[in-house]
């Protein structure tokens, strides 16, 4: 079983979930912006990654750099 040490506070998590949702809405889930297939894949991947990191309160880049917003 994977265990992640949380390294994000509630503000950081909320911003990531909001930005990730916005990326998904603008890109692959609507026709608000005329985008090509590659742009939809990139926006979808970035949005999904942001939502997942916000949901689990864990950021791989924070772990690698030793950065922690929880404290």
Global pTM reads: 0.84
Within-domain flag for 71: no
Domain count, the chain: 1
**Residues 5 and 60 sit within 8 Å (Cβ to Cβ):** no
Cα 20 from chain centroid (whole Å): 5
Confidence at residue 71, expressed as pLDDT on a 0 to 100 scale:
75
The two tokens of residue 5 are 């040490």
Within-domain flag for 23: yes
Within-domain flag for 5: no
Confidence at residue 18, expressed as pLDDT on a 0 to 100 scale:
97
How confident is the model over 19-58, as pLDDT tens digits? 999 999 888 877 776 778 888 888 899 999 999 999 999 9
């Amino acid at each position: 079983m994977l265990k992640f040490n949380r390294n994000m506070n509630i503000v950081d998590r909320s911003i990531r979930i909001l930005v990730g949702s916005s990326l998904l809405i603008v890109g692959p889930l609507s026709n608000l912006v005329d985008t090509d297939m590659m742009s939809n894949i990139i926006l979808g991947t970035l949005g999904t990654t942001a939502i997942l990191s916000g949901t689990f309160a864990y950021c791989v880049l924070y772990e690698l750099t030793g950065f922690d917003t929880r404290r």
